[in-house]
Structure 1
Amino acid sequence: MLKSILTLRPTTSDWIFSLKTFGASILALYIALMFDLDRPVWAMATVYIVAHPLSGVLGSKAIYRVLGTVFGAIAAVVLVPNLVNAPVLLSMALALWVGGCLFLSRLDRTPRSYVFMLAGYTAAIVGFPCVTDPGNVFATAIARCQEISLGIVCATLVSHIILPRHIGPVIATRVDGWMADIAKLAAQSFDPASDGDAIQNDRARIAADLGELHGLALHLGYEKSRFAGRTRQLQALQSAMAALLPVFYAIYDRLTALKAQTGAVPDALSALLGRISDFILAQHHDPKQTADLHRDITAYAKTLGGGDDWAALLQLNLCDRLHRLLDFHEDCHALWAGIRAGDVPDDVIDRWQESGGDRALHRDYGVAFRCGLTAFIATMMVCGFWMMSAWPNGATAAMMAAVGASLMSFLDNPVPALKGFIRYTAMAVGVVLIYSLVILPGIDGFPLLAMVFAPYFILLGVLITSPQTYGFALAMLVNVVMILNVGTAYSSNVAGVIGGGIASLAGFGVAAIVTAFIRVMPVDRHIRRLVRANWRDIAAIGKGKLKLGRMIMIRRLLDRQGLILPRLAMAPEHHETFLRVMPEVSIASVLYDLQRLRMVAEPALATKLDRLLANIAQHFEARLDDFTRAPDAVILRDVDHILRDVMGMPKGAAREKLLIPLVALRRTLSKDDAPDLGRYHEPTARNGQNGIMPVALIGETA
Structure 2
Amino acid sequence: MLGTILSLRPKASDWLFSVKTFAASILALYIALAFDFDRPVWAMATVYIVAHPLSGVLASKAIYRVLGTVLGAVAAVVLVPNLVSAPILLSLVLAIWVGGCLFLSRLDRTPRSYVFMLAGYTAAIVGFPCVGDPTAVFATAIARFQEISLGIVCATVVSHTVFPRHIGPVIAARIDGWMGDVAKLADQSFDPQTDAEALQNDRARIAADLGELHGLALHLGYEKSGFSGRTRQLQALQSVVAALLPVLYAIHDRLVALKTEQGDLPDDVKGILAGISAHISAPTHDRARIWQLHREIDAFADRVAGSRDWAGLLQINLANRLHRLIDFHDDCRTLWDGIRAGDVPADVLDRWQESARAGALHRDYDAAFRSGLTAVIATLIVCGFWILSGWPSGATAAMMAAVGSSIMSFLDNPVSALKGFIRYTALAVAVVLVYSLVILPGIDGFALLVMAFAPYFILLGVLMATQQTYGFGLAMLVNVVMILNVDTAYSSDVSLLLGGGIASLAGFGVAAIVTAFVRVVPVDSFIRGLVHANWRDIAGIARGTLNIARMVMIRRLLDRQGLILPRLAMAASQRETLIRVMPEVSIAASLYDLRRIRLFVDPMIRARLDVLLRNIARHFEARFDDFDRAPDPRILSEVDSILRLANDLVDATQRQKLLIPLVALRRMLSKTDAPTLDRMAGQVASTTSLSPRMGEIA
Establish whether TM, by shorter chain, passes 0.5: yes
Q: What corresponds to 1:437 in structure 2?
A: 437
CA distance in 2, matches of 1:37, 1:272: 71
Please report how far the alpha carbon of residue 480 of structure 1 lies from its aligned counterpart in structure 2 after TM superposition.
0.2
User: Could you list the per-position Cα deviations for residues 244-293 of structure 1 after superposition, in whole angstroms to 9, with x for gaps in the alignment?
Assistant: 00001001100111111111112221121111111111142111111110
- Three-state SS of the structure 1 residue aligned to 2:672 is coil
Please report how far the alpha carbon of residue 628 of structure 1 lies from its aligned counterpart in structure 2 after TM superposition.
1.1
Preserved CA contact (<8 Å) 1:619 1:698: no
Give runs of aligned pairs for residues 374-393 of structure 1, distance below 5 A: 374-393=374-393
Give runs of aligned pairs for residues 646-657 of structure 1, distance below 5 A: 646-650=646-650, 652-657=652-657
In the alignment, structure 1 residue 501 sits paired with structure 2 residue 501:
yes
Give runs of aligned pairs for residues 144-163 of structure 1, distance below 5 A: 144-163=144-163
Write the letter of the residue equivalent to 1:669.
L
CA distance in 2, matches of 1:363, 1:101: 16
In the alignment, structure 1 residue 456 sits paired with structure 2 residue 456:
yes
Q: What corresponds to 1:691 in structure 2?
A: none
CA distance in 1, matches of 2:358, 2:680: 46
CA distance in 1, matches of 2:353, 2:30: 46
CA distance in 1, matches of 2:288, 2:654: 29
Write the letter of the residue equivalent to 1:484.
L
In the alignment, structure 1 residue 585 sits paired with structure 2 residue 585:
yes
Please report how far the alpha carbon of residue 305 of structure 1 lies from its aligned counterpart in structure 2 after TM superposition.
3.9
CA distance in 1, matches of 2:194, 2:683: 41
CA distance in 2, matches of 1:306, 1:500: 81
User: Could you list the per-position Cα deviations for residues 630-677 of structure 1 after superposition, in whole angstroms to 9, with x for gaps in the alignment?
Assistant: 233210011000000011111522111110000000000000000000
CA distance in 2, matches of 1:307, 1:234: 42
CA distance in 1, matches of 2:75, 2:305: 70
Q: What corresponds to 2:561 in structure 1?
A: 561
Preserved CA contact (<8 Å) 1:622 1:696: no
In the alignment, structure 1 residue 531 sits paired with structure 2 residue 531:
yes
Give runs of aligned pairs for residues 572-611 of structure 1, distance below 5 A: 572-611=572-611
CA distance in 2, matches of 1:651, 1:77: 71
Write the letter of the residue equivalent to 1:580.
R
CA distance in 2, matches of 1:317, 1:198: 24
Give runs of aligned pairs for residues 26-105 of structure 1, distance below 5 A: 26-105=26-105
In the alignment, structure 1 residue 142 sits paired with structure 2 residue 138:
no
Write the letter of the residue equivalent to 2:696.
E
Q: What corresponds to 1:701 in structure 2?
A: 697
Preserved CA contact (<8 Å) 1:44 1:151: yes
Preserved CA contact (<8 Å) 2:670 2:692: no
Q: What corresponds to 2:120 in structure 1?
A: 120
Please report how far the alpha carbon of residue 306 of structure 1 lies from its aligned counterpart in structure 2 after TM superposition.
2.5
CA distance in 1, matches of 2:303, 2:558: 34
Greater shift after overlay, 302-311 or 194-203?
A: 302-311
| Moved segments of 4+, more than 3 Å | 680-684, 695-698
**Per the alignment, do residues 105 and 333 of structure 1 end up closer, same or farther by CA in structure 2, a change over 3 Å counting?**
same
User: Could you list the per-position Cα deviations for residues 54-100 of structure 1 after superposition, in whole angstroms to 9, with x for gaps in the alignment?
Assistant: 00000000000000000000000010000000000000000000000
Preserved CA contact (<8 Å) 1:424 1:476: yes
Write the letter of the residue equivalent to 1:383.
C
User: Could you list the per-position Cα deviations for residues 487-512 of structure 1 after superposition, in whole angstroms to 9, with x for gaps in the alignment?
Assistant: 00000111111110000000000000
Please report how far the alpha carbon of residue 681 of structure 1 lies from its aligned counterpart in structure 2 after TM superposition.
8.4
Preserved CA contact (<8 Å) 2:25 2:43: yes
Q: What corresponds to 2:519 in structure 1?
A: 519
CA distance in 1, matches of 2:420, 2:452: 27
User: Could you list the per-position Cα deviations for residues 143-163 of structure 1 after superposition, in whole angstroms to 9, with x for gaps in the alignment?
Assistant: 000000000000000001111
In the alignment, structure 1 residue 109 sits paired with structure 2 residue 109:
yes
TM-score when scaled to structure 1? 0.98
Q: What corresponds to 1:690 in structure 2?
A: none
- Three-state SS of the structure 2 residue aligned to 1:410 is coil
Coordinate RMSD, CA, aligned? 1.6
Preserved CA contact (<8 Å) 1:192 1:255: yes
Preserved CA contact (<8 Å) 2:483 2:497: yes
Write the letter of the residue equivalent to 1:198.
A
Give runs of aligned pairs for residues 50-449 of structure 1, distance below 5 A: 50-449=50-449
**Structure 2 runs not aligned, ≥5 long:** none
CA distance in 1, matches of 2:504, 2:68: 22
- Three-state SS of the structure 2 residue aligned to 1:412 is coil
Identity of aligned residues (%): 73
**Per the alignment, do residues 95 and 697 of structure 1 end up closer, same or farther by CA in structure 2, a change over 3 Å counting?**
farther
**Per the alignment, do residues 555 and 15 of structure 1 end up closer, same or farther by CA in structure 2, a change over 3 Å counting?**
same
- Three-state SS of the structure 2 residue aligned to 1:468 is helix
Preserved CA contact (<8 Å) 1:61 1:111: yes
CA distance in 1, matches of 2:315, 2:603: 29
Please report how far the alpha carbon of residue 444 of structure 1 lies from its aligned counterpart in structure 2 after TM superposition.
0.5
CA distance in 1, matches of 2:680, 2:115: 61
CA distance in 2, matches of 1:681, 1:421: 69
CA distance in 1, matches of 2:25, 2:511: 29
- Three-state SS of the structure 2 residue aligned to 1:80 is helix
Greater shift after overlay, 260-269 or 141-150?
A: 260-269
Greater shift after overlay, 344-353 or 614-623?
A: 614-623
Please report how far the alpha carbon of residue 680 of structure 1 lies from its aligned counterpart in structure 2 after TM superposition.
5.4
Q: What corresponds to 2:2 in structure 1?
A: 2
CA distance in 2, matches of 1:673, 1:418: 53
Write the letter of the residue equivalent to 1:314.
L
CA distance in 2, matches of 1:334, 1:107: 32
Q: What corresponds to 1:480 in structure 2?
A: 480
Preserved CA contact (<8 Å) 1:645 1:680: no
**Per the alignment, do residues 134 and 615 of structure 1 end up closer, same or farther by CA in structure 2, a change over 3 Å counting?**
same
CA distance in 1, matches of 2:651, 2:88: 76
CA distance in 2, matches of 1:284, 1:680: 53
User: Could you list the per-position Cα deviations for residues 670-692 of structure 1 after superposition, in whole angstroms to 9, with x for gaps in the alignment?
Assistant: 000000001158979x99xxxxx
Preserved CA contact (<8 Å) 2:207 2:558: yes
- Three-state SS of the structure 2 residue aligned to 1:580 is helix
Aligned pair count reads 696
CA distance in 2, matches of 1:549, 1:326: 21
Preserved CA contact (<8 Å) 2:619 2:631: no
Preserved CA contact (<8 Å) 1:541 1:592: yes
User: Could you list the per-position Cα deviations for residues 446-489 of structure 1 after superposition, in whole angstroms to 9, with x for gaps in the alignment?
Assistant: 11111110110001111101010000000000000000000000
Preserved CA contact (<8 Å) 2:55 2:164: yes
Preserved CA contact (<8 Å) 1:124 1:398: yes
Greater shift after overlay, 345-354 or 626-635?
A: 626-635
- Three-state SS of the structure 2 residue aligned to 1:265 is coil
Preserved CA contact (<8 Å) 1:382 1:397: yes
CA distance in 2, matches of 1:698, 1:2: 49
Please report how far the alpha carbon of residue 697 of structure 1 lies from its aligned counterpart in structure 2 after TM superposition.
10
Q: What corresponds to 1:692 in structure 2?
A: none
- Three-state SS of the structure 2 residue aligned to 1:599 is helix
- Three-state SS of the structure 1 residue aligned to 2:679 is coil
CA distance in 2, matches of 1:390, 1:697: 65
Write the letter of the residue equivalent to 1:121.
Y
CA distance in 1, matches of 2:301, 2:648: 19
**Per the alignment, do residues 611 and 698 of structure 1 end up closer, same or farther by CA in structure 2, a change over 3 Å counting?**
farther
CA distance in 1, matches of 2:290, 2:307: 25
Q: What corresponds to 2:677 in structure 1?
A: 677
Preserved CA contact (<8 Å) 1:412 1:520: yes
Greater shift after overlay, 570-579 or 211-220?
A: 570-579
- Three-state SS of the structure 2 residue aligned to 1:31 is helix
CA distance in 1, matches of 2:239, 2:430: 50
CA distance in 2, matches of 1:433, 1:638: 76
